[in-house]
Amino acid sequence: MKSFSKEEIKALDKIVRLNLINSVSGYKSANLIGTKGEKGENLALFSSVVHLGASPALLGFIMRPASVPRNTLTNMKLTKKFTINSVSEEIIEKSHFTSANFDEGVSEFEVCKLTPEYMENFEAPFLKESKLKMAMNLEQIIPIELNDTMLIVGSIETIYVEDQALETSGQIDLNLLNTVAISGLNRYHQVKQIANFPYARVSDLPKFN
Amino acid sequence: MKSFSKEEIKALDKIVRLNLINSVSGYKSANLIGTKGEKGENLALFSSVVHLGASPALLGFIMRPASVPRNTLTNMKLTKKFTINSVSEEIIEKSHFTSANFDEGVSEFEVCKLTPEYMENFEAPFLKESKLKMAMNLEQIIPIELNDTMLIVGSIETIYVEDQALETSGQIDLNLLNTVAISGLNRYHQVKQIANFPYARVSDLPKFN
């Protein structure tokens, strides 16, 4: 096995370190976050959306330091609303390029040819092309002081999902939606189910070799 | 599209709600966290490990409420050390069953037939079967008061990865390691790269239709 100590990681070329550290956590979710503010609509790709709890239904994501203008953050603070839109295979390239550093006032929807959609009077724009999307209320911004990032906590206001992917168990079949996974900074992956185990109970433990 | 309002989500059967809300964030990483404490070794599956930053190299994960005994948390608080071990296809069933509610003092390594491994005097056990593993220092436990969960923040002390998966760019080829992704509470997926886009620059924006 190849190993990297803390000191070796620190001494790596910056891009190599970014690639390495961004890939060690495993596969990541791919979601576009939609907001609207004084300078118009904004759509930004995040690979850090994470489940926080089911009751109340809460999701979180990590926001990088606020040292440069972050439209998503500014808009969320203003309106307390945002949308989370899952990324499927059909739109990976457009989604990826929403992360380019566009000039102020430029809408990623427009330059990346993605379609804003407004539903049920919710203030933030959804992504029309997305097959699983959520209206979110900003609940809390928790600072992570160690590296000046933030955990953004949002509660789910509404879930929209294509009918055929919703199972009676409540589970959404992400394979059917062609939802992708991300690794590192710029790799996109197709995903295929290989196992579905029952809830893990001591009494049902399989006989392992 | 099928939709669920906040009120409808609240009114769902508990298991249906768990399945639904655990699947809306997209694909999740699959990692086993190893710790050691006064009652022995512990190995627990987490699907919430997330990248926090590359410099310093920080990862986080979500821990559920401390209202029931959580050996992983107790051990981490005691030793300030833990390991993160990626889950590959070969060990998905064993990994899944580490989440059963075993009696105090029972080691998941032993009952799930997984092998603890100690490296370079690090206090917490690694998973021998894992192809990508990290020695972690506990840096901070950040409470998420809204639902009584916690964001556990750890810094990477050492990374170990199988040689053939490490690219010169620093990126780890997770496909080559057969690393899996999780969806919902109990679904495991094989992952296959379909695209690798360059760093997104305004000047290199493709012509989208």
Of A32, A141, A36, the residue nearest A79 (C-alpha)? A36
What pLDDT, on the 0 to 100 scale, is given for residue B23?
98
How many other CB atoms sit within 10 Å of the CB of residue B116? 20
Question: What was the pLDDT predicted at B66?
Answer: 66
In the three-class reduction of DSSP (H, G, I as helix; E, B as strand; rest coil), residue A136 is classed as strand
* Mean pLDDT computed over A130-146: 98
Is the backbone of residue A170 left (phi > 0), alpha (psi -120 to 50) or beta?
left
Judged by CB atoms closer than 8 Å, whether chains meet at A56 and B147 is answered as yes
Bridge partners (DSSP) listed for residue B132 = B161
Q: What is the pLDDT of residue A56?
A: 96
Q: Mean pLDDT across the stretch A86-97?
A: 97
Which residues of chain B are under the pLDDT cut of 50?
none
Beta bridge partners of A43: A34
Cβ–Cβ contact A208 with B under 8 A: yes
Which of residues 13 through 42 in chain B touch A, CB cutoff 8 A?
A: 13-31
pLDDT at B167: 97
pLDDT, average across residues A118-125: 97
Nearest one of A21, A48, A1, A186 to B132, comparing CA atoms: A1
Smallest CA–CA distance, residue B29 to chain A, in Å, is 5
- The predicted pLDDT at position B165 comes to 98
How many interchain CB pairs under 8 A, A with B?
399
**A177-194 tens-digit pLDDT:** 999 999 999 999 999 999
Residue with tokens 């907001």: A35
Q: Give me the mean pLDDT over the A121-150 stretch.
A: 97
Of the partner residues B26, B98, B102, the one whose CB lies closest to the CB of residue A29: B26
Rounded distance between C-alpha atoms, residue B98 and residue A56, angstroms: 26
- Residue A105: the pLDDT is 86
Q: Are B88 and B189 in contact (CB under 8 A)?
A: no
pLDDT of residue B57: 98
CA distance A62 to chain B (A): 7
> What are the DSSP E strand ranges found in A57-180?
57-63, 81-86, 116-117, 126-127, 132-144, 149-161
Task: For chain B, give percent helix, strand, coil, nearest 5.
Answer: 20, 40, 40
How far apart are the C-alpha atoms of A131 and A117, rounded to whole Å? 13
Smallest CA–CA distance from B102 into chain A, residue: A202
Q: What is the pLDDT of residues A24-83, one digit of tens each?
A: 999 999 999 999 999 899 999 999 999 999 999 999 999 987 666 678 999 999 999 999
CATH code of the domain occupying A28-191: 2.30.110.10
CB contact under 8 A, A2 and B163: yes
97-116 of B, contacting A, C-beta below 8 A: 97-103, 111-113
- Beta-bridged to residue B53, according to DSSP, are B58
Residues 127-146, chain B, touching A (beta carbon < 8 A): 132, 134, 139-140, 142, 144-146
A201:B100 CB<8 A: yes
Taking contacts as CB-CB distances below 8 angstroms, the residues of chain A near B199 are 185-186
Please give the model's pTM, rounded to 2 decimal places.
0.96
For residue B42 the two structure tokens come to 């512990």
Question: Domain coordinates of chain A in residue numbers?
Answer: 28-191
Distance from CA of A38 to the nearest CA of B (A): 22
For residue B33, give both structure tokens: 């966290």
